[in-house]
DNA sequence: TCAACACTTCGCTGTGGAACGAACCATGAC
DNA sequence: GTCATGGTTCGTTCCACAGCGAAGTGTTGA
């Protein structure tokens, strides 16, 4: 199939009010059951089933069976970032000088399963600047930026309680640069990015807004970022 | 209107075979007449007219009247990058270790009106590393990375014959970071990026493949990049 | 002024696909 | 076993919209 038809097909998967609502609901990276999604999308369960089948078949979603529930989530970070790109387009083009993304979303949010926004970009920069994260030269994939932890970085992450062991047999990238749409700079993605966010949530550095992908940087988180990463971030909210 | 409905609407603009073909045809940044686009899309002129009206109204395209012709082109680089993001999604997700973008596209291509791909990213890095390009701290738009030429950079660009005067009354960014989808790193966008590409094409450093956004780095271009930017790039093709 | 051309508007047709309810298949609880 | 619950499959309805041709508008150039 030619590229243009593929493009139309992929866009078609998003171009429906119900499916768009489901995808937006999943943008925070959490998994949801079909019923939960049918409520978000405001359609019947049978309709939902058809939509989810379509999205799964096209590679937007992945499914996990658990008992009689089926949990759906975004299949990978690429999907999340493409959705964010499209969301940016809905804002009025060239709208004077005001940034297009709402401030609270721009500051800290979840992108699939890792952290995105101003905070994430600042953190990513600091990790590289301090030599905690090292770029791997990769001949096979010169495009994608890949990282590994330096020995000092490993120490730091262990000290903070980040789980550094990816699940066995996982084919996922260990650590890589992921484009931050609102910031237009990279933040940390891959397994390490996900593990880091998990720790930050567990430790209450960040709090999820219920049913939303906005993340709130707590006072505790601010102090911890300064302490562990020597990163001073302004307050917000 | 809520974000999810906007998302569906924007995706809907792309989710049609004819419109997708038109958008792909415009991805190289060149402007085309309605008739040319109707041929690309393989539909009648009346159908084409309706499609183009829709795309223009939604902010995907901009139009310039010239005599009895109407020239259409992508409205801004954000549109081009969002389209590229979607195109990436059509590739099989997590397809083992092979990069998703075809090699010739990944190496050098036009993204709207400036250069993208491996070459563009390498160039962008070098411009910053050598201090020819300087980051502007911008309080109003902390997200977008903006640049200006240093005095040595200005000299360099003038020596190469790049036109450094933006059109008067242009509200376009002078120079900014633009995300490179295949590389996942930034390249140079904005007015300066466009002027640079224009010079490179005029000087035959790069050649356009007819009716395609693939760019071919010529022998002359390779030598010039080394001479002016101290940038050694491998051959391709 | 008129013919040629580029494009738009209008009216009509046909189809893809989104919606629902009812019936059906699982799984888990009792 | 029986019942409740989560999800899918099927059949049907219905509407949005892409498609076309014919007629209309506007511009150029002879």
B157-171 pLDDT tens trace:
999 999 888 765 566
pLDDT at A154: 93
CB contact under 8 A, A85 and B81: yes
Among residues B19, B115, B40, which one has the least CA distance to residue A8?
Answer: B19
Q: Can you tell me the mean pLDDT for A35-56?
A: 95
B17 contact A CB<8A: yes
**Is residue A234 domain-resident?**
no
Please report, rounded to a whole number, the percentage of residues in chain B having pLDDT higher than 70: 84
Q: Judge if A115 and A67 occupy the same domain.
A: no
Q: Can you tell me the mean pLDDT for B188-206?
A: 90
Min distance B90 CA to chain A CA atoms (Å): 6
pLDDT at B181: 65
The residue with greater pLDDT, B90 or B169, is: B90
Both tokens assigned to B134: 């300087």
Q: Judge if B9 and B63 occupy the same domain.
A: yes
CB contact under 8 A, A93 and B76: yes
**Is residue A9 domain-resident?**
yes
Q: Which of A93-97, A117-121, A136-140, B184-188 has the highest mean pLDDT?
A: A117-121
B202 contact A CB<8A: no
Min distance B160 CA to chain A CA atoms (Å): 28
Q: What share of chain B is helix, strand, coil (3-state, %, to 5)?
A: 45, 20, 35
CATH number (domain holding residue A32): 1.10.10.10
Please say if the pLDDT value at position B203 is more than 80: yes
The DSSP string of B183-200 is: TTEEEEEHHHHHHHHHHH
Both tokens assigned to B97: 């270790």
pLDDT at A141: 40
Q: Judge if A90 and A60 occupy the same domain.
A: no
The residue with greater pLDDT, A69 or A139, is: A69
- Residue A19 backbone dihedrals phi, psi, to 5 degrees: -65, -40
Greatest extent of chain B over all pairs of C-alpha atoms, in Å? 53
Q: Judge if B107 and B132 occupy the same domain.
A: yes
How many helices and strands in chain A, by DSSP H and E? 10, 11
The answer to ipTM > 0.95 is: no
Last residue of a domain, one of B22, B54, B75: B75
pLDDT at B130: 87
Q: Judge if B214 and B144 occupy the same domain.
A: yes
For residue A207, what are the CA distances in angstroms to A109, A124, A224, A233, B178? 10, 20, 14, 16, 31
Q: Which of A5-9, A17-21, A107-111, B31-35 has the lowest mean pLDDT?
A: A107-111
Contact B208, B108 (CB under 8 A): no
Q: Judge if A67 and A93 occupy the same domain.
A: no
Please say if the pLDDT value at position B100 is more than 60: no
Alpha carbons within 13 angstroms on the beta-carbon side of residue A175 total 24
Contact list in A for residue B15 (CB cut-off 8 A) is: 8-9, 11-15
Q: Judge if A205 and A115 occupy the same domain.
A: yes
Question: Measured between alpha carbons, how far is A179 from B181 in angstroms, rounded to an integer?
Answer: 9
Last residue of a domain, one of B21, B46, B75: B75
Contact B107, B99 (CB under 8 A): no
Among residues A80, A144, A148, which one has the least CA distance to residue A117?
Answer: A80
pLDDT at B95: 39
Question: Measured between alpha carbons, how far is A123 from A10 in angstroms, rounded to an integer?
Answer: 33
Q: Can you tell me the mean pLDDT for A203-207?
A: 92
pLDDT at B57: 93
Both tokens assigned to A234: 């302004």
pLDDT at A99: 46
Average pLDDT, chain A: 84
pLDDT at B145: 67
Please report, rounded to a whole number, the percentage of residues in chain A having pLDDT higher than 90: 44
**Is residue B237 domain-resident?**
no
Helix A151-160, helix A190-202: angle, nearest 10 = 30
Question: Measured between alpha carbons, how far is B208 from B113 in angstroms, rounded to an integer?
Answer: 12
Min distance A159 CA to chain B CA atoms (Å): 30
Q: Judge if B168 and B103 occupy the same domain.
A: yes
Alpha carbons within 13 angstroms on the beta-carbon side of residue B211 total 6
The whole model's pTM is what? 0.69
B47-66: pLDDT as tens digits:
999 999 999 999 999 988 87
Alpha carbons within 13 angstroms on the beta-carbon side of residue A213 total 23
Alpha carbons within 13 angstroms on the beta-carbon side of residue B116 total 31
Contact B51, B60 (CB under 8 A): no
Last residue of a domain, one of A75, A104, A136: A75
Q: In the structure, what pLDDT confidence band is assigned to residue A112 with cuts at 50, 70 and 90? A: confident
The residue with greater pLDDT, A168 or A195, is: A195
Contact list in A for residue B16 (CB cut-off 8 A) is: 8, 12
Alpha carbons within 13 angstroms on the beta-carbon side of residue A209 total 14
Question: Measured between alpha carbons, how far is A120 from A178 in angstroms, rounded to an integer?
Answer: 10
């Amino acid at each position: 199939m030619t590229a243009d038809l593929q493009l139309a097909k992929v866009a078609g998967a998003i171009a429906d009010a119900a499916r768009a609502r489901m995808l937006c609901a999943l943008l925070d990276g959490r998994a949801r059951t079909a019923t939960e999604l049918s409520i978000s999308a405001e359609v019947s369960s049978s309709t939902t089933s058809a939509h989810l089948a379509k999205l799964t078949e096209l590679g937007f979603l992945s499914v996990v069976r658990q008992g009689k529930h089926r949990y759906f989530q975004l299949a990978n970070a690429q999907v999340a970032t493409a959705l964010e790109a499209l969301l940016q387009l809905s804002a009025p083009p060239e709208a004077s000088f005001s940034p297009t993304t709402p401030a609270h979303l721009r500051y800290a949010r979840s992108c699939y399963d890792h952290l995105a926004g101003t905070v994430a970009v600042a953190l990513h920069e600091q990790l590289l600047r301090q030599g905690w994260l090292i770029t791997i030269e990769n001949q096979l994939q010169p495009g994608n930026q890949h990282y590994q932890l330096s020995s000092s970085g490993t120490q730091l992450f262990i000290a903070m309680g980040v789980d550094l062991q990816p699940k066995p047999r996982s084919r996922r990238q260990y650590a890589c640069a992921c484009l931050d749409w609102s910031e237009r700079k990279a933040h940390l993605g891959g397994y390490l990015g996900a593990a880091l966010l998990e720790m930050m949530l567990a430790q209450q550095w960040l709090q999820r807004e219920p049913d939303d992908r906005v993340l709130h940087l707590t006072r505790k988180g601010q102090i911890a970022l300064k302490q562990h990463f020597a990163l001073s971030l302004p307050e917000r909210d």
